[in-house]
Amino acid sequence: MRLAFITSNPGKVEEARKYFRSLGIKVYQLRVDYPEIQADTLEEVAEYGVRWLAERIDGRFFLDDSGLFIEALWGFPGVYSAYVYKTLGIDGILKLLDGLADRRAHFESVVAYWDGELHLFSGRVDGEITTERHGSGGFGFDPVFKPTGFERTFAEMTTEEKNKISHRGQALKAFSEWLKENLK
């Protein structure tokens, strides 16, 4: 089975590909720009995107909407993570947290699958923002996100290690379990 992953982010595709390979599902990247609305939750952003795309492209597909939520910043950047990554970047986030003891943060991911109907799967991982960048793997905020219980950032882990604990890994797990049940 082949599955289209609609995203502009090759790092996400790499993670999904590694995840689904063992299940015999081939994931391929489809780049279609879709509107990411301003909303309070990742679910709303993902649902709007999926319904917009479903009117324009044929067949089944999925997308992923994720965000980094920093406790000391009341959840910012959250649903604005893509914009903040492009503008403030990692350095901007480190500056905002400069001198703060409370560096708790979490990632959330919503995977939205369309097969004529909408199916949502989500995941979350808690951790903290490090004071400096560590590692060169992964993408986005990975060099400064250290999951709870680990001494390495996501950027210091292999894709397989990150997938086992990450927000996206959990959402993909729920998605793949659903697929196993529903594609019989």
The residues that are catalytic are: 65
Selected from 168, 172, 175, 179, the binder of ligand ITT by CB under 6 A is 168
CA angle 54, 60, 64 (to 5 degrees): 80
Selected from 25, 39, 72, 82, the binder of ligand ITT by CB under 6 A is 82
- 89 in Cβ contact with 66 (< 8 Å): no
Of 34, 38, 31, 37, give the one whose Cα is nearest residue 56: 34
Smaller CB separation from ligand ITT, 81 or 176 = 81
Residues in 95-114 at the binding interface with ligand ITT, rule: CB under 6 A: 107
Cα–Cα distance measured from residue 25 to residue 176, given in angstroms and rounded to the nearest whole number: 9
Cα–Cα distance measured from residue 159 to residue 176, given in angstroms and rounded to the nearest whole number: 17
Smaller CB separation from ligand ITT, 121 or 182 = 121
Selected from 48, 76, 139, 178, the binder of ligand ITT by CB under 6 A is 139
The packing angle between helices 167-182 and 10-21, to 10°, is 50
Q: Which stretch binds ligand ITT (CB under 6 A): 4-12, 19-27, 52-60, 116-124?
A: 4-12
**Taking the complex as a whole, how short is the minimal distance between the CB of residue 106 and ligand ITT, in angstroms?**
11
> Counting contacts by CB under 6 A, is residue 163 touching ligand ITT?
no
- 28 in Cβ contact with 4 (< 8 Å): yes
State the residues that interact with ligand ITT by CB under 6 A: 7-9, 12, 64-68, 81-82, 85, 107, 138-142, 154, 166, 168
